[in-house]
Structure 1
Amino acid sequence: MLDQGHAPNVVTFNVLINALAKMRKAKEAKELLSLMIQRGEMPDVWTYNSLMDCLYRAGNIEELKEVFTSMERKGIAADVVSYNILIKGYCKHGMIGKASKIYRKMIQNGVKPDIFTLNALLEGMLLKGRMTDVAQLRRDIVVHNLTPNSCTYNILVDGLCKNGYIQEALELFEIINVSKLKLNISTYNCLIDGLSKAGRLEKALELFGRLSSEELVANVATYTILISGLCKAGKISEANKMFVDMEKSGSTPNIVTYSILIDGFCKAGEISEAYRMFVDMEKSGTTPDIVAYSILIDGLCKAGEMSEACRMFVDMEKRGSPPNEYTFGALIHGFCQINDTQTVVQLLQVMTDRGMKLNEVIEDMVMTQLLKEDNCHKYLHLLPTFPPR
């Protein structure tokens, strides 16, 4: 364009900078902005907003702030979009104090916030658990005559649940339910999880039952949350049925789902079912991790099936999943139950050889076991020296 004698104007530069910004090419966009200024074309707020949005998406909060400040120095008034980008950037990086300061500055400068401003601030405040500020922001929505959108309610319900305000989240949920606004599956999951953890499993299942009428599809997180809640409530049959329904629906269980159900079967004393679930997990192509192995080994040890527990322990190591303190603790507890002090001491030696620390639970188990021995002094000198906790 320049070679052909055509001088690009501000509109041309803006289009090019915006295109580069969308391609996440912040460096090139900044270079073009510099060229624009050198050629005497004055950038406008739209130019700066494009560049700031690019920097926000790239996570360059310091550069974002510099561009915002540069815009102000040039006498270009920031608009609501400019402020929103900077506020979102600060909130995304947990810099809530700075986000609040920009929000106050925005209002002082006569720029009216929109619902996107409040959504960003609400999400940031909820992540930090600043509930007093959340309450004030909810009042600000009314003061500024703004209409909450689906995103607002999703943020609020999700944040209230994660901060333990389950009843308030549920009340807000019911208000939304009679409106035309829709909540997404993530928000349903958060509310179902909150209710489940609060012991309100029936209400959680009731919400699960509403999903189809809301034209929402339960995902792996939804099923995993409910399976976990049912297992913790001792309803292992219902949890297993939920697992079967999950597979029928086309939702694929992940390692967390399998581990929760294996743990549920172990705690219910159904070791054969736990083992079956472990085998099914492998058949499905899901590779067992240290958590899944440790859960099953613990269950086998508590059931007195030490040979199988040891076999799993060896298999675990062969597959490149090294046992942790929890795994060793499960085995040590199992051998303490059958009074095999010699093996307990050997396991302790393996732990110290691997640089593991002896936690209080294992220490108490070992000391209790040694005191049972008539010749405990025989073993005391065999105990390895562990690094300090």
Structure 2
Amino acid sequence: MSIEDDVRPPGHVLVVGASASGLTTLEALRRKGYKGRITVLGDEPHAPYDRPPLSKQVLSGAWEPERAALRTQDVLDGLDAEFVLGDPAVSLDTATRTVVTASGRELRADAIVIATGVRPRTLPGQEGLSGVHVLRTLDDSLALRKELLGASRVVVVGEGVLGSEISATARTLGLDVTLTGPLAAPMALQVGPLVAGVLGELHSERGVRLRLGAGVAGFTSEAGRVTGVRLTTDEELPADVVVVAIGAAPATEWLADSGLELDNGVVCDSRCRAGESIYAVGDVARWHHEHLGRLLRLENRTNATEQAMAVAAGILGDDRPYVPVPYFWTDQFDAKLQVHGFLPVDAEVDVVEGELAARRFVARYRSEGRVTGVLGWNMPKQARLRRQEIVDAPRAVP
């Protein structure tokens, strides 16, 4: 789409957030013919980089950190945008569309795109304890890798996607790995009990110790350094390094006095608008999905880019709702899982291609007779083709 003749584009677009969704917003605006001023504000000092490799290729050492960069400097320069990096936003005045940064810089724009992502959740007693890590940023990944290379035992707290990926990566580095969390199997909340059980078998076979079904009561330590994790069952898991991967919260603290509606993210309409000429994209955005009839917030790489492209189009006058079929993937050991749609934990699941035992299959998820999602385990093409069943299903809340 090109800029319509009867639509006057904003003179200055400010993108707050310099990760995948922020960069994609910038690129999509330029690709659609926008010639105005664009400023990209980032809280980290790094140019935009990709996050999925941080728990896998970067953490394992298969990639040098520079390889995670989303674009070369030459490409970024060609976008004719001002990048203000290492200076977090601290407030937003919606009336004047002015963002104030930690250094005191004031940035005023005609349209603002909020792309500040999420921040890792932490556990009580974690702060200030050496050897306890989270993984969200490039610096987090490099710091964790440095410690893993000198460690022998690691405990990963959190059996979701990130915790499962970190456990697999640490095990391939030769560490003694224990994965703990309150659910019964790795990624049980994300893929349901059937596939989670197969994933648990894979981790166990590869040497990951599963201590699941119990919460964390606290840490054990000596001289300010973590020595283990204490579970609610009173069991203690010894560790040289602990990684806390218990989810993330939308980075909206800086918007507390903005007047925007904040409820598990920046609340938006079906066009991802949070206010007059103010939009939100990526992990921080909670928008009205018209096909589902409810608010939705997604934390995955695909949504970060697709939503950014939709918002760029909206800024330039393309008035249509954002109604994606969600998609995410995860790589653990030799398993590559691709997920399309929604996988309710209570869904009916049947294997429609391949075999569970062979660990090469496509599983279809139904809720109230409606296909809501498909999962491919080492069958990406077949899973992608089955995605059409989700698109063709009657619209209803999964």
Which bin holds the TM-score, normalised by the shorter protein? under 0.3
TM-score, scaled to structure 1:
0.26
Higher relative contact order (Cα pairs below 8 Å, separated by 6+ residues): 2
For the pair shown, which has the larger CA radius of gyration, 1 or 2?
1
Normalized per residue, the structure richer in helix is 1
Higher strand share: 2
TM-score, normalization by structure 2: 0.26
